[in-house]
Structure 1
């Protein structure tokens, strides 16, 4: 379940930057959002691979 917590923490950590970008048009926050989304994509891929490996070994 630690992977799920890691995923939640990453998403919740982006909340402030999303608000700054979309509500206040802060361009630097947009850069942080893009970076965070890339990190989220990489984490999701790692989790998918981990799940697939566990599924195949049983």
Structure 2
């Protein structure tokens, strides 16, 4: 495992139940948009979701 991966796992472990639920809702909403149309591609969904995860440490530690 990389240091970046380990740091992300540690940060995810530190999220509250409320934060985790919000994150899951956002991920589900994006997947639903991909599945039900309007031009949001699965590639864009993955990219947006990865970017969201990259922001978690910054948001969590501010």
Structure number with the bigger relative contact order (C-alpha 8 A, sep ≥ 6) is 2
The structure with the largest helix share of the pair is: 1
Q: Could you say which TM-score interval applies, normalised by the shorter chain?
A: 0.3 to 0.5
Q: TM-score, normalized by length of structure 1?
A: 0.40
TM-score by length of 2: 0.38
Could you say which structure has the larger radius of gyration? 1
